[in-house]
Chain A
Amino acid sequence: MAAHLKKRVYEEFTKVVQQQHEDLSAKKLRLTKPSKSAALHVDLCKATSPADALQYLLQFARKPVEVESVEGVVRILLEHYYKENDASVRLKIASLLGLLSKTAGFSPDCIMDDAINTLQNEKSHQVLAQLLDTLLVIGTKLPENPSVRMRLVEVACKHLTDSSHGVRNKCLQLIGCLGPVEKSVAKEAESQAAKDVQKIIGDHFNDQDPRVRTAAIKAMLQLHERGLKLQQAIYSQACKLLADDYEQVRSAAVQLIWVLSQLYPESIVPIPSSNEEIRLVDDAFGKICHMVSDGSWVVRVQAAKLLGSMQQVSSHFLEQTLDKKLMSDLRRKRTAHERAKELYSSGEFSSGRKWGDDAPKEEIDTGAVNLIESGACGAFVHGLEDEMYEVRIAAVEALCMLAQSSPSFAEKCLDFLVDMFNDEIEEVRLQSIHTMRKISNNITLREDQLDTVLAVLEDSSRDIREALHELLCCTNVSTKEGIHLALVELLKNLTKYPTDRESIWKCLKFLGSRHPTLVLPLVPELLSTHPFFDTPEPDMDDPAYIAVLVLIFNAAKSCPTMPALFSDHTFRHYAYLRDSLSHLVPPLRLPGRKLVSSPVSPSITSHEDPSQQFLHQSLERVYNLQHLDPQGIQELLEFTIRDLQRLGELQSELAGMADFTATYLQCQLLLIKALQEKLWNVAAPLYLKQNALASAAAKQILEETYKMEFMYSGVESRQVVIIHHMRLQAKALQLIVTARTTRGVEPLFGMCEKFLQEVDSFQRCFISELPHMQGSFVDKLLDLMPRLVTSKPSEVVKILQTTLRQSTFLHLPLPEQLHRATANIIEPTGESDNPLRFTSGLVVALDVDATLEHVQDPQGTVKVQVLYPDGQAQLIHPKPADFRNPGPGRHRLITQVYLSHTAWTEPCQIEVRLLLAYNSSRSKASSRIPKSTWNESLEALPPSENGIEGTIPFSKPVKVYIMPKPARR
Chain B
Amino acid sequence: MPEIKVTPLGAGQDVGRSCILVSIAGKNVMLDCGMHMGYNDDRRFPDFSYITQNGRLTDFLDCVIISHFHLDHCGALPYFSEMVGYDGPIYMTHPTKAICPILLEDYRKITVDKKGETNFFTSQMIKDCMKKVVAVHLHQTVQVDEELEIKAYYAGHVLGAAMFQIKVGCESVVYTGDYNMTPDRHLGAAWIDKCRPDLLISESTYATTIRDSKRCRERDFLKKVHETVERGGKVLIPVFALGRAQELCILLETFWERMNLKAPIYFSTGLTEKANHYYKLFITWTNQKIRKTFVQRNMFEFKHIKAFDRAFADNPGPMVVFATPGMLHAGQSLQIFRKWAGNEKNMVIMPGYCVQGTVGHKILSGQRKLEMEGRQILEVKMQVEYMSFSAHADAKGIMQLIRQAEPRNVLLVHGEAKKMEFLKQKIEQEFHVNCYMPANGETTTILTNPCIPVDISLGLLKRETAIGPLPDAKKPKLMHGTLLMKDNSFRLVCPEQALKELGLAEHQLRFTCRVHIQDPRKEHETVLRVYNHLKGVLKDYSVQHLPDGSITVESILIQATAHSEDQGTKVLLVSWTYQDEELGSYLTSLLKKGLPQST
Judging by beta carbons under 8 Å apart, are B220 and A353 in contact?
Answer: yes
Judging by beta carbons under 8 Å apart, are A327 and B210 in contact?
Answer: yes
Q: Does B470 contact A (CB under 8 A)?
A: yes
Q: Does B194 contact A (CB under 8 A)?
A: yes
Enumerate chain B residues within 8 angstroms of A455, measured Cβ to Cβ.
223, 226
Enumerate chain B residues within 8 angstroms of A424, measured Cβ to Cβ.
185, 254, 289
Judging by beta carbons under 8 Å apart, are A353 and B385 in contact?
Answer: yes
Q: A295-B404, A352-B224 are in contact. Are A324 and B215 (CB under 8 A)?
A: no
Interface residues in B206-236 by Cβ distance below 8 A to A read 208-220, 222-224, 226
Q: A352-B224, A352-B385, A355-B384 are in contact. Are A381 and B213 (CB under 8 A)?
A: yes
Judging by beta carbons under 8 Å apart, are A245 and B212 in contact?
Answer: no
Q: Does A329 contact B (CB under 8 A)?
A: yes
A245 to B422, CA, bound (A): 30
Judging by beta carbons under 8 Å apart, are B219 and A452 in contact?
Answer: yes
Interface residues in A350-378 by Cβ distance below 8 A to B read 352-353, 355-356, 366, 369, 371-372
Judging by beta carbons under 8 Å apart, are A206 and B473 in contact?
Answer: yes
Q: Does B545 contact A (CB under 8 A)?
A: no
> Closest Cβ of chain B: how far from A101's Cβ, in Å?
32
Enumerate chain A residues within 8 angstroms of B189, measured Cβ to Cβ.
387
Enumerate chain B residues within 8 angstroms of A420, measured Cβ to Cβ.
215
A381 to B430, CA, bound (A): 21
Judging by beta carbons under 8 Å apart, are A355 and B366 in contact?
Answer: yes
Majority SS at the chain A contact face: loop
Judging by beta carbons under 8 Å apart, are A458 and B288 in contact?
Answer: no
Judging by beta carbons under 8 Å apart, are B474 and A206 in contact?
Answer: yes
A667 to B383, CA, bound (A): 73
Judging by beta carbons under 8 Å apart, are A460 and B208 in contact?
Answer: no
Judging by beta carbons under 8 Å apart, are B216 and A337 in contact?
Answer: yes
Q: A371-B399, A419-B216 are in contact. Are A328 and B208 (CB under 8 A)?
A: yes
A865 to B259, CA, bound (A): 33
Q: Does A461 contact B (CB under 8 A)?
A: yes
Enumerate chain A residues within 8 angstroms of B101, measured Cβ to Cβ.
none
A419 to B213, CA, bound (A): 9
> Closest Cβ of chain B: how far from A303's Cβ, in Å?
15
- Sorting the interface of chain A by its residue count into under 10, 10 to 19, 20 to 34 or 35 or more gives 35 or more
> Closest Cβ of chain B: how far from A368's Cβ, in Å?
11
Chain B, residue nearest A371 (CB): B399
Enumerate chain A residues within 8 angstroms of B386, measured Cβ to Cβ.
353, 355-356
A623 to B220, CA, bound (A): 69
Judging by beta carbons under 8 Å apart, are A366 and B425 in contact?
Answer: yes
> Closest Cβ of chain B: how far from A169's Cβ, in Å?
15
Q: A328-B209, A355-B366, A372-B403 are in contact. Are A422 and B384 (CB under 8 A)?
A: no
Interface readout for A321-352 with B: 1 if CB under 8 Å, 0 if not? 00011111110010111000000000000001
Q: Of B289, B383, B400, B419, which contacts A329 at CB under 8 A? A: B419
Q: Does B365 contact A (CB under 8 A)?
A: yes
- Which one of A356, A371, A385, A419 has the highest number of Cβ atoms from chain B below 10 Å of its Cβ? A371
Judging by beta carbons under 8 Å apart, are A422 and B222 in contact?
Answer: yes
Enumerate chain A residues within 8 angstroms of B278, measured Cβ to Cβ.
none
Enumerate chain A residues within 8 angstroms of B223, measured Cβ to Cβ.
455
Chain A, residue nearest B421 (CB): A366
A741 to B182, CA, bound (A): 85
Interface readout for B242-264 with A: 1 if CB under 8 Å, 0 if not? 00000000000010011110000
Chain A, residue nearest B363 (CB): A355
A953 to B167, CA, bound (A): 73
Judging by beta carbons under 8 Å apart, are B208 and A327 in contact?
Answer: yes
A385 to B393, CA, bound (A): 14
Q: Does A838 contact B (CB under 8 A)?
A: no
Q: Of A366, A372, A389, A458, which contacts B260 at CB under 8 A? A: A458
Q: A424-B289, A460-B257 are in contact. Are A355 and B208 (CB under 8 A)?
A: no
Q: A335-B212, A355-B384, A460-B259 are in contact. Are A366 and B289 (CB under 8 A)?
A: no
Judging by beta carbons under 8 Å apart, are A161 and B215 in contact?
Answer: no
Q: Does B183 contact A (CB under 8 A)?
A: yes
Q: Of A329, A333, A366, A459, which contacts B259 at CB under 8 A? A: A459
Enumerate chain A residues within 8 angstroms of B78, measured Cβ to Cβ.
none
Q: Does A59 contact B (CB under 8 A)?
A: no
Judging by beta carbons under 8 Å apart, are A389 and B383 in contact?
Answer: no
Enumerate chain A residues within 8 angstroms of B474, measured Cβ to Cβ.
206, 208
Enumerate chain B residues within 8 angstroms of A425, measured Cβ to Cβ.
289
> Closest Cβ of chain A: how far from B248's Cβ, in Å?
14
Enumerate chain B residues within 8 angstroms of A355, measured Cβ to Cβ.
364-366, 384, 386
Interface residues in B389-403 by Cβ distance below 8 A to A read 395-396, 399-400, 403
Enumerate chain B residues within 8 angstroms of A329, measured Cβ to Cβ.
208-209, 419
Judging by beta carbons under 8 Å apart, are B220 and A388 in contact?
Answer: no
Q: Of B192, B259, B399, which contacts A372 at CB under 8 A? A: B399
Q: Does A207 contact B (CB under 8 A)?
A: yes
Interface residues in B157-199 by Cβ distance below 8 A to A read 182-183, 185, 188-189, 191-194
Judging by beta carbons under 8 Å apart, are A295 and B194 in contact?
Answer: yes
Enumerate chain B residues within 8 angstroms of A161, measured Cβ to Cβ.
470
Enumerate chain A residues within 8 angstroms of B193, measured Cβ to Cβ.
295
Q: Does A928 contact B (CB under 8 A)?
A: no
Judging by beta carbons under 8 Å apart, are A422 and B219 in contact?
Answer: yes
Judging by beta carbons under 8 Å apart, are B215 and A385 in contact?
Answer: yes
Interface readout for B361-378 with A: 1 if CB under 8 Å, 0 if not? 000111000000000000
- Which one of B212, B222, B399 has the highest number of Cβ atoms from chain A below 10 Å of its Cβ? B212
Judging by beta carbons under 8 Å apart, are B194 and A245 in contact?
Answer: yes
> Closest Cβ of chain A: how far from B476's Cβ, in Å?
13
Enumerate chain B residues within 8 angstroms of A245, measured Cβ to Cβ.
194
Chain A, residue nearest B189 (CB): A387
Q: Does A496 contact B (CB under 8 A)?
A: yes
Judging by beta carbons under 8 Å apart, are A293 and B400 in contact?
Answer: yes
Interface readout for A416-433 with B: 1 if CB under 8 Å, 0 if not? 100110111100000000
> Closest Cβ of chain A: how far from B78's Cβ, in Å?
35
Interface residues in B417-471 by Cβ distance below 8 A to A read 419, 422, 425-426, 430, 470
Judging by beta carbons under 8 Å apart, are A336 and B216 in contact?
Answer: yes
Chain B, residue nearest A358 (CB): B212
Q: Does B287 contact A (CB under 8 A)?
A: yes
A335 to B209, CA, bound (A): 12
> Closest Cβ of chain A: how far from B47's Cβ, in Å?
30
Interface residues in A483-536 by Cβ distance below 8 A to B read 496
Judging by beta carbons under 8 Å apart, are B191 and A460 in contact?
Answer: no
Judging by beta carbons under 8 Å apart, are B422 and A330 in contact?
Answer: yes
Q: Of A293, A336, A372, A385, which contacts B220 at CB under 8 A? A: A336
Enumerate chain A residues within 8 angstroms of B404, measured Cβ to Cβ.
295
> Closest Cβ of chain B: how far from A461's Cβ, in Å?
7
Judging by beta carbons under 8 Å apart, are A330 and B216 in contact?
Answer: no
A326 to B210, CA, bound (A): 5
Enumerate chain B residues within 8 angstroms of A386, measured Cβ to Cβ.
183
Chain A, residue nearest B475 (CB): A208
> Closest Cβ of chain B: how far from A673's Cβ, in Å?
56
A161 to B465, CA, bound (A): 13
- Which one of B222, B258, B364 has the highest number of Cβ atoms from chain A below 10 Å of its Cβ? B258
Chain B, residue nearest A336 (CB): B216
Judging by beta carbons under 8 Å apart, are B222 and A325 in contact?
Answer: no
A425 to B219, CA, bound (A): 15
Q: Of A326, A337, A387, A423, which contacts B211 at CB under 8 A? A: A326
A207 to B396, CA, bound (A): 33
> Closest Cβ of chain B: how far from A201's Cβ, in Å?
15
> Closest Cβ of chain B: how far from A417's Cβ, in Å?
11
Q: A245-B194, A422-B222, A458-B259 are in contact. Are A352 and B419 (CB under 8 A)?
A: no
Q: List 18 A-B contacts (CB under 8 A).
A: A206-B474, A293-B400, A295-B193, A324-B210, A326-B211, A330-B422, A355-B365, A355-B366, A372-B430, A384-B213, A385-B183, A386-B183, A389-B288, A422-B222, A425-B289, A459-B258, A460-B259, A460-B260
Measuring CB to CB, which residues of chain A are less than 8 angstroms from any residue of chain B?
A: 161, 206-208, 245, 293, 295, 324-330, 333, 335-337, 352-353, 355-356, 366, 369, 371-372, 381, 384-389, 416, 419-420, 422-425, 452, 455, 458-461, 496
Measuring CB to CB, which residues of chain B are less than 8 angstroms from any residue of chain A?
A: 182-183, 185, 188-189, 191-194, 208-220, 222-224, 226, 254, 257-260, 287-289, 364-366, 383-386, 395-396, 399-400, 403-404, 419, 422, 425-426, 430, 470, 473-474
